[in-house]
Amino acid sequence: MANENELAKLEQSLATWQKKVEQSLAKFPERGAFAANRLYTPLDTAGKDYAADIGLPGEYPFTRGIQPTMYRARLWTMRQYAGFASAEESNRRYKYLLSQGQTGLSVAFDLPTQIGYDSDHPLAQGEVGKVGVAVDSLADMEALFDGIPVDKVSTSMTINAPAAVLLAMYIAVGEKQGVAPARLSGTIQNDILKEYIARGTYIFPPTPSMRLITDTFAYCSQHIPKWNVISVGAYHIREAGSTAVQEVAFAFANAIAYIEAARAAGLKIDDFAPSISWIFTAHLDLFEEVAKFRAARRLWARIMKERFGAHDPKSQMLRFHVHTAGSVLTAQQPDNNTVRITWQALAAILGGTQSLATCARDEAIGLPTEASARMALRTQQLLAHESGAADTVDPLAGSYYVESLTDGIERQAREYIAKIDALGGAPAAIEKGYIQREMAESAYRYQRAIETGVRTVVGVNKFAAAEPQAADFLQVDPTVGEHQSARLAVLRAKRDNIKVAAALDALRREAAGDANLMPCLVDTVKTYATLGEICGVLREAFGEYKAEADI
């Protein structure tokens, strides 16, 4: 924060320096065209109001972090994304990760579960247990958390379209363990809008989907106060090809739509906003990523205060999980991925994340082995305990470059949100295909940059080497689908089918009305009605979403 006199002097000396640069360029031309300027100085951050724009950690607008002492008090939660094959096998992986120092669980479900089909559904063929664990009923959920006390560990579940059903199962697992809902802590992703634009595991059309989300908001604010009712997915928007600015802007636009829906349903902002959490990516550009997290925190605080009149600081705080970007990992020379993941994780830490998942080095090839999953966790532990990056709060604040990037990302994200508002908000912008087109355009530009050599990918378009692929990747047992189907047959024969039918009938009636569906879902899962049966009833009541294939 130099005064005007100093700035004027700086401008003069920069003009002189520029001549030196010209001479240097004549002799040593720069390597290429760069997105960032050559140099950042106090001129780039002149006019900033430190108190209003940057402030102190733990205070509005939270640019420097949401807690006053950040990692000096408590490190981020190390929460590796895991799940594959059967509930028993995933349960073993969770216990292994917890034994190795992981501090929270993150459940990956397989695609049939995410789309509300039982493992014996024809469309589930070949998919059971592949990208996550298969959960067909409460019986699988009980096996998944067998021996894991749900009052001691927080659990994040990557589940969207049927999130309300899986949350109901988790509540039931808690009850069996003698843990009341109020003592459960964790997260359901529950962000359906980004499924339509980026991730593709939708079931129902937007309107009933928004109802399910609002129902979980209302239910949790009353019964499970520690539960994060949504984890708004910026991650998936970026992974689908967006830029950093689009990642922030499109996720914020979706969150604004959820808040507006909840308010329209009569909820008060400060009653539910503190339970909104986020998931962002950590991409490759170290400084841009740090700035992205800082800009997102500030912009969200301002939106909550200025647009929604939130008073509770907890409503204004952007609390987020970061998962390092999987899409930038390469099948070629997978050891390089460990290095990429390390600085991606560093960006998340310097950006003040609350929770972190690091990819495993072999994710461009298949699911992580136990050894590569451990290495990914160790990467976080090394950064936490040896690098010094966690020892001071928001260490990059005041960097002319980082502050200038932070301002730029906030400004451009605001512009995008204004455009989406003008289109009628995120649901309308999605319906018009606007967001999808913007993302596809960025994805194509990124790919062109790699293929034309503008962007270097080490080991792929530069420094490539012929080498055989490592053979020690994880193979999911191909019979897991058959096993899961056999278990379903036993379950259907053993359970009280009269109770199941009555519960499903009740759900059918409730779904046709407008009462909160959560209590009914909790009752229904306890009869061991399957996920496919429950979603089948909801499919009949709500209809199914059909996406347009727009390229």
Positions touching other proteins (CB under 8 A) are: 111-112, 114-115, 117, 123-127, 130-131, 195, 199-201, 239-241, 327, 329-332, 363-367, 440, 443-444, 447, 450-451, 457, 460-461, 468-469, 471, 473, 476, 478, 547-549, 551
Nearest distance from C-beta of residue 200 to other proteins, angstroms? 2
- Beta carbon nearer to other proteins, 153 or 440: 440
Indicate left, alpha or beta for 126 from its phi (over 0: left) and psi (-120 to 50: alpha): left
Nearer residue to other proteins within complex by CB, 185 or 442: 442
Whether 119 contacts 514, CB under 8 Å? no
Collapsed DSSP state (helix, strand, coil) of residue 78: strand
Find the shortest distance in angstroms from Cβ 238 to other proteins. Answer: 10
- Tokens 């995933």 locate to 90
* CA torsion through residues 27, 31, 32, 36, sign: negative
Beta carbon nearer to other proteins, 160 or 354: 160
Q: Which residue, 42 or 200, is less far from other proteins as judged by CB? A: 200
Helix (H) or strand (E) holding 330: none
Shortest distance (Å) from residue 129 CB to other proteins:
9
Distance CA 44, CA 98 (A): 46
> What separation in angstroms does the CA of 229 have from each of 185, 219, 271, 321?
10, 9, 12, 14
Closer residue to other proteins in complex, CB, 191/510: 191
Closest distance between other proteins and the C-beta of residue 242, in Å?
10
Please report how close the Cβ of residue 440 comes to other proteins at its closest, in angstroms: 5
Q: Where are the beta strands (DSSP E) in 301-382?
A: 320-324, 355-357
- List the structure tokens of 232: 């708004």
CA dist 286 and 292 (Å) reads 10
| Shortest distance, position 133 Cβ to other proteins, whole Å | 13
Cβ-based nearer residue to other proteins, 67 or 160: 160
Q: Which amino acid is at 308?
A: F
Which amino acid type is present at position 155? T
Cβ closest to other proteins, residue 391 vs residue 451: 451
In the complex, minimum distance from the CB of residue 324 to other proteins, in angstroms, rounded to a whole number: 15
In angstroms, the CA 387 to CA 492 distance is 53
Between 124 and 218, whose beta carbon lies closer to other proteins? 124
Q: In this complex, which beta carbon is closest to other proteins, that of residue 305 or of residue 455?
A: 455
Q: How far is the CB of 246 from other proteins (least distance, A)?
A: 13
- Rounded CA separation 93/304 (Å): 39
Give every CB contact of residue 72 below 8 A, 6+ residues apart in sequence.
Answer: 390, 391, 392, 393
Closest distance to other proteins from the beta carbon of 544 (Å) = 10
* Residue number, 126 or 398, with CB nearest to other proteins: 126
Instruction: Tell me phi and psi for residue 540, to 5 degrees.
Output: -65, -40
In the complex with other proteins, the residue whose CB is nearer, 131 or 423, is 131
What backbone phi and psi angles, to 5 degrees, belong to 233? -90, 95
In this complex, which beta carbon is closest to other proteins, that of residue 388 or of residue 468? 468
Cβ 279 to other proteins shortest distance, Å: 16
- Give the separation between CA 254 and CA 121, rounded to whole angstroms: 32
Residue linked to tokens 């140099």: 39
- As measured in angstroms, the least distance from the Cβ of 108 to other proteins is 12
Work out the number of other CB atoms within 10 angstroms of the CB of residue 63: 27
Q: What are phi and psi of 236, to 5 degrees?
A: -70, -30
Smallest gap from residue 240 Cβ to other proteins (A): 5
H helix intervals, 357-479? 370-386, 400-422, 426-431, 434-451
Contact, 410 vs 299, CB < 8 A? yes
As a whole number of Å, the end-to-end CA separation of the chain is 48
Nearest residue to 73 (alpha-carbon basis) of 389, 390, 293 = 390
DSSP state of 46: T
Q: How far apart are CA 130 and CA 179, in angstroms?
A: 31
In the complex with other proteins, the residue whose CB is nearer, 415 or 467, is 467
Q: Which residues contact 248 (CB under 8 A, 6 or more apart)?
A: 234, 292, 295, 296, 299, 409, 413
Q: Supply the minimum distance, in Å, between the C-beta of residue 449 and other proteins.
A: 12
